[in-house]
Amino acid sequence: MSGMIETIERLTQVQEEQISVPAEVLYYRIEKVKEDFSAAGDEKNAKKAGQLLEKLLKKEFTVAFCGHFSAGKSSMINAIMGSQVLPSSPIPTSANVVSIKTGKKAARIFFKHGKTIDFGPEYDINELKTYAVNGDEVETIELYHPSNLLGEVISIMDTPGIDSTDDAHKVSTESSLHLSDAVFYVMDYNHVQSEVNFQFTKELKDRGVPVYLVINQIDKHVDFELSFTQYRESVMDAFRHWDIEPDGVFFTSLKDPFHSENQWQELLAQLGRMFKGKERLLIPSIFRATLYLIAEHRKFLHEKHALKREPFERLLEEKADGENIQARYAALSTRLASLFETAEKFEKEGKRELQSILDNAPLIPFSTRELARLFLESRQPGFKVGFLFSASKTKEEKAKRLNDLYVELSQNTSAHLEWHIKELLRTLPEKYGYDDSEYQKHAMEFSVKFDEDLLVHAVKPGALTGGEAVLNYSKDIADAVKSLYRRAALTMIEGAAQALRRQAEEQAQDIKRELEEIRGLKEAQDALVALNRRESEAEARLTDVLINGIPGEEQAPPLQAYEQQKAERVEVPQAPDDRATVKRPVHLAVKKEEAESSASYSSPIKKDYKSFMLKMADMLRRSAQVIQDIPGLAGSACAMEQRAERLEKNRFTVALFGAFSAGKSSFANALMGDLILPVSPNPTTAAINKILPPDENNPHGSVRVRLKTREDITNDVLHSLEVFGISAETIEQAVECSSALDAKDVHPTAKPHYSFLRAVQKGYSEIESQLGQDLIIGLEEFREFVAQEHKACFVEWIELYYDCPLTRQGIILVDTPGADSINARHTGVAFEYIKNADAVLFVTYYNHAFSHADREFLIQLGRVKDTFAMDKMFFIVNAADLARSQEELEGVVEHVVQNLATCGIVRPRIYPVSSQTALLARMGAHGKLNESAAGILRKRLGVAAEAPLPSVAEALHFSGLSHFENEFIAFTLEELTRIALNEAFAEVRRVLQTMDDLIATARQDASLRDQQLKAAEARREQALQTIHELDTAADIQALEKEIQELVYYVKQRVMLRFNEAFRYSFNPASLKDDGRGIQKTLQLSLEELSRFLAFDLAQEMRATALRVERFMAQTGEKIREKLMNRMQLEHFTLRAWEHPTYNTPDFSADFPEGTTDELRSSLNFFKNPKQFFEQGGQEKMKADLERKYQIPVQAYTAQGEEVLRSHYVPAFKEEIAAAQARAVTEVEEYFAGLFAVLGMKINIEGLMDRRNQVNSMLMLVEKEINVKEK
């Protein structure tokens, strides 16, 4: 990397100084460089250096045109030449370079085997095209044509088209770009901001090549989308973002020469200036190109030394395990030298961090200072309370004020001092490698007690209650408390430092032993460093030759003599008779179009991922059978069987979310390719619809409906009745009560509940006898259960077994209740799908703003997104065909991006689609469209009635669905399948490594085996003892502390949303002064506010549960690593920590009973709407309610903390116990295998044979999967 940086710096220097060296001296230097290339065997770069020498002789100035096939390069070159030198459609020069030079019309083909073919002035340009694509045999093509612009020694180079990063790399490294003195990079107006463009131009600029950007076909621009000024600036910003400063930028149109922004004439003028000053530019350009060749020569030397490197690299690969040995050796040496500094650094940092915590702990905020003032006031002479019984009241008041101050100071100390000191004491030793369970236990239990006497003794005689006196007293009591904590914490820090010093003495011996072990590896790395040095020295030597010269160059003969000498060596071109020997490519364009148009479904699934899983599962089962009776491998065989079963049953769950009207069902239908899910007219009662792969028990088209239990439907109905302030005990009572509701009295936020109750009332008698049952029905009846609300309201979930390309690969599509579902249980269900689904799709409708329910759901996504290992969220803007312009569509997408950002979701994957258009296209491919539907599809696609419909692939592209599907499939099937397969491969390789270790051990000398057998018995006992003595009390305490801290911040986050919640619940739409029941409306608004906050608390607690689970998983892995470090068993690794999947605990949708009783009095701040909204009543009520809600919110979080603790702490203890049991089993198995080979109780030849069997099966599956993937 440093070599490349130095080369770039030299290139910059060459350009800046405009190297003024005579041409003959430069020729002499390059010839010396070329000789060194050849002497080293680098014929490729030697040939390129020879081309530079020829360029220097001819003084030929070359401008290269690069870019996409469709960018208009050929038309541009034709325009420059003033004639059609190249065909108007681009010559497919994907494998070769075409050079256009001034002269009599002619063409010459240069072959890689050294022959050439000359064409006369009447050559057929179409015949040239067949040579141009023949990269195997043809190297370059030269065209000669008269030109007024090009001089005799000026050429234009048309390079291969760039369509990908690979193409860009190939063109820049293998083509004739080293001969280019400037590059004009041509881009299509619509494809400027392509990563390929940025990468290619960045590489050229880094090489020092002058680069001019040409944005062609600007006639495509339409001003109603955005102004041209904005477009131009966006282009420039994009290249600036990549740190690319082009030498010039031209916006051109050959189609519309009179376009107001056309800079074609400016481009021609720039070419003219370059051609005119070519002699000044040529020498620095050749310098630059030669420096680049020298850098490429270094790469050649690196590859040339591969055989020498191989034994050293193999040794390092086998023994070093990717470790940087030099750094390790140096680190160990440094660590040995400075081992005892660790304790001093630890102690110094501990004291510094402790002091920082003490200095920054806000123990006396305003509220506490006020309590201090009241306490001081109570200590003043003459202080008394009341008139009657004043002595006792005064005494009580003094005690109360002292207690109030003590309680709040204790709480502040706990929150702002004790927590942070505990964290410091717990984490700082880990940083310095101090792992002691007893210390961790004391750190978690760290606490300092002080009583009220501290506050009393801090009162100075004659203390007053003025501002300065209160401040001084506040400082005194804070300092007194901090002093107590300082002494206690310092005792622990100093004790840990002493332990670190003792630990250092023990580690010194281990370090010396490890240094001796890696000395051989260091020597291998030293050898590699020496080879690298030789390569860099060769580059430096040649660079010095080029820049600073060589002795005797001042006697270099004039360049003319070289020209004569070179001219005599020019080969006579071969006769054109060789044309027939060139292989002509087969033209496949028509066949390709036919293949594309024949695809009926146009599925994005190009591979059979399911078969990959099944092949791998079969291989795992067969491998397990081979190894199951080998001592020490029974556990591995069992693990392979279990993994095989998971692969066989593997499913990818994709959860669809969104508001009910967003078109989720339509989108699901488009993915499936048929009208499968009907659209429910009643969103409030929609059930969970699952589309699954058919199986032996559930054939294609079968439907299983789970009806709600009597208890569940009763709870749902009672919950909706509570919204109206109505209570009932049974569902029959509830149904009867709901009939009395009047629609005109329903609060706006309660209308979904009203509709739900009406649906239950209508359908209850018909379905009562079937509650809690599973119904097996057909597709027709299935549509009734979805579409008829009096049936749908009783459905818990529906499973539809349907065969289509997605389900064949194991994808389960779950169409969830909408984000605005009134079903309280749906919130918990939705969270489980967010948590456990492999992918989450959120669908929003094109012309719908985010609803409140949408926002709440998205906020929940934002809360939990960082707990996922991968970003599994996709956002769909549906019905994008409603856009009247691209600008409007981009505006909607940007609106969605901004709204997602407010919900905590940044950099989302957003896809505008028209699911209806995609669905119609796929149904049309199967002949399922009637005349009306076909007419809609034609209208959507802009196709005339008499014209044929485009292919389904084109229609899907138009709808936006194909883009989404490609990325979605890449994530769900490709990425997740790859992860599952890689884990399975790793399992088998782990077994093979274990077998290799057993075989190697068995082949050792008998006496050595006897020694190892005795040592192994001791190591086994030590390892088992380590597992049994594992003390995880500190880890359990850390979990409890994590729960406590996470919940502490839940309350703060919820109260930060209070203003939003209040304005949502108390707004002009809901509080109308119509003279009828305003107090009832106010009460309903207050209840809505309570529901908002309780819902937010429940959502926060669910997100907190997920964070707790992540903490448990991380802690579990640390415990595993701790065990590994303490056991210190060679060639043994505990399997990864198995973190179970936990059900998220239930959190109430209501505040604890009795905690909201004091809220109603705040409604008295409302007099009338004008007073409330315009004269400050709203702010007074909001401030009063915000203060009062502290009590129920605190009660809820305390209850939630206990739920989390009681749910996860015992579970984590069980998780640890299970891990210990697994560790014991794994250790026992490991030593069973070891004892078997050390005692020669195992057939080594048989073991090798089985090892080879497993390896053969592994290689076969790897090969089959790789072949299919290709």
**What is the per-residue pLDDT across 810-840, written as a single tens digit (0 to 9) for each?**
888 888 775 555 555 556 677 777 887 888 8
More confident: 894 or 1211: 1211
- Residue 698 DSSP code: S
Most confident range (mean pLDDT) of 10-24, 899-913, 1077-1091, 1194-1208 is: 1194-1208
- Token couple for 574: 């071969």
Distance (Å, whole) CA 127 – CA 390:
117
In tens, the pLDDT along 420-464 reads 998 898 888 888 888 888 888 888 889 899 898 998 888 888 777
Instruction: Please name which of 927, 928, 915 lies closest in space to residue 956, comparing C-alpha atoms.
Output: 915
Single-letter residue type at 907: R
Residues 6+ apart with CB under 8 A from 543: 7, 10, 291, 294
Rounded Cα distance between 886 and 889, Å, is 5
Average pLDDT over residues 171-198: 76
Q: Residue 385 belongs to what H/E stretch?
A: none
415: left (phi over 0), alpha (psi -120 to 50) or beta: alpha
Residue 684: helix, strand or coil by DSSP? helix
Instruction: Give the tens place of pLDDT for each residue, 762-803.
Output: 888 888 889 999 999 888 888 778 767 788 888 888 999 998
For residue 156, pLDDT over 70 is answered with yes
Strands, E assignment, 685-838:
688-692, 703-707, 774-777, 795-801, 811-815
- Does some domain include residue 1006? no
Same domain, residue pair 227 and 265: yes
Mapped onto helix, strand or coil, the DSSP state of residue 249 is strand
Confidence class of residue 299 from pLDDT cuts 50, 70 and 90?
Answer: confident
> Are 510 and 533 within one domain?
no
741/819 same-domain check:
no
Residue 1054 counted as domain residue: yes
Per-residue pLDDT tens digits for 337-391:
777 788 888 889 999 999 999 999 898 998 898 898 898 888 888 788 776 667 8
Residue 993 placed within a domain: no
Q: Are residues 535 and 674 located together in one domain of the fold? A: no
The last residue of a domain, from among 488, 517, 546:
517
In the predicted structure, residue 212 carries a pLDDT above the cut 90: yes
1057 touches 856 (CB < 8 A):
no
Please report the pLDDT score of residue 223 as a whole number. 57
Asked whether residue 462 falls in the same domain as residue 549, the answer is: no
612-661: per-residue pLDDT in tens?
888 888 989 999 999 888 888 888 898 889 888 888 877 888 888 886 65
Per-residue pLDDT, averaged over 302-326, amounts to: 70
pLDDT score of 966:
86
Same domain, 259 and 126: yes
Domain identity same for 1105 and 1198: yes
Residue-wise burial string across 321-356, b where 16 or more C-beta atoms lie within 10 A, e elsewhere: eeeebeebbeebeebeeebeebbeebbeebbebbee
Confidence grade of residue 552 (pLDDT, cut at 50, 70, 90):
confident
Number of H helices, E strands in the chain: 47, 18
Average pLDDT rounded to a whole number, residues 485-496: 91
Average pLDDT over residues 1134-1162: 86
Q: Read off φ and ψ for residue 382, nearest 5 degrees.
A: 85, 0
Q: What is the pLDDT of residue 848?
A: 61
Domain boundary among 470, 491, 517: 517
Please identify which residue in the block is written with the tokens 């908002």: 1092
Residue 721 in domain: yes
Structure tokens at 97: 């370079």
Kindly state whether residues 344 and 241 are assigned to the same domain.
no
Determine, yes or no, domain membership for 946. Answer: no
How many angstroms separate the most distant Cα atoms in the chain? 130
Q: Rounded to the nearest 5°, which phi and psi values hold at 91?
A: -65, 130
Q: Quick check: is 19 in a domain?
A: no
Q: What is the CATH number of the domain that holds 178?
A: 3.40.50.300
Q: Is residue 278 part of a domain?
A: yes
Claim to verify: residue 1209 and residue 1104 sit in the same structural domain: yes
pLDDT at 590: 26
Order of strands across the sheet that contains 703-707: 774-777, 703-707, 795-801, 688-692, 811-815, 652-658, 839-845, 873-878, 910-912
Q: Are 262 and 236 in contact (CB under 8 A)?
A: no
- Per the DSSP assignment, residues forming a β-bridge with 107 are 119, 143
**Residues contacting 996, CB < 8 A, separation 6+:** 1251
Alpha helical stretches, state H, 970-1004: 976-1002
Comparison of pLDDT for 860 and 986, the residue scoring more: 986
Query: Residues 6 or more apart from 830 whose CB is under 8 A from it?
Result: 657, 816, 817, 819, 821, 857
Rg (CA), the chain: 39
Q: Tens digits of per-residue pLDDT, 1036-1089?
A: 999 999 999 999 989 989 998 999 889 888 877 677 654 446 778 888 889 889
573 domain residue, yes or no? no
Higher-confidence residue: 1163 or 326? 1163
What's the total number of domains in the chain? 6
Tell me the β-bridge partners of 674: none
What mean pLDDT is reported for the chain?
81
1147 burial (CB, 10 Å; 0-12 / 13-18 / 19+) is buried
| Cβ contact 940:956 at 8 Å | no
Q: How far apart are CA 1262 and CA 1046, in angstroms?
A: 45
pLDDT band of residue 1104 (cuts 50, 70, 90) is: very high
Residues 6+ apart with CB under 8 A from 59: 23, 153, 278, 279, 282
Check whether residue 465 and residue 368 sit in a common domain: yes
pLDDT tens readout for residues 260-288: 899 999 999 999 898 888 888 888 989 99
Render 322-344 in DSSP notation, one character per residue.
Answer: T--HHHHHHHHHHHHHTTTHHHH
Provide the residue range defining the domain that includes 756: 710-771
Q: Does the CA dihedral 271-277-279-283 come out positive or negative? A: negative
CB atoms < 10 A from the CB of 1038, how many? 21
Give yes or no: residues 686 and 821 share one domain: yes
Least trusted range by pLDDT, from 105-114, 844-853, 950-959, 1024-1033: 844-853
Question: What pLDDT score was predicted for residue 92?
Answer: 43
Confidence of residue 1237 (pLDDT cuts 50, 70, 90): confident
| pTM metric for this prediction | 0.53
Angle, helices 1078-1127/1058-1065, rounded to nearest 10 degrees: 150
For position 3, what pLDDT does the model report?
46
Structure tokens at 54: 């020829």
DSSP state of 846: T
Distance, in Å, from the CA atom of 1075 to the CA atom of 1077, rounded to the nearest integer, reads 7
What tokens does 1183 get?
Answer: 């401030």
Q: Is-contact 354 486, C-beta < 8 A?
A: yes
163, 282, 510, 1024 from 741: Cα distances, Å? 66, 91, 81, 70
Is the domain of 377 the same as that of 505? Answer: yes
pLDDT at 1201 over 90: yes
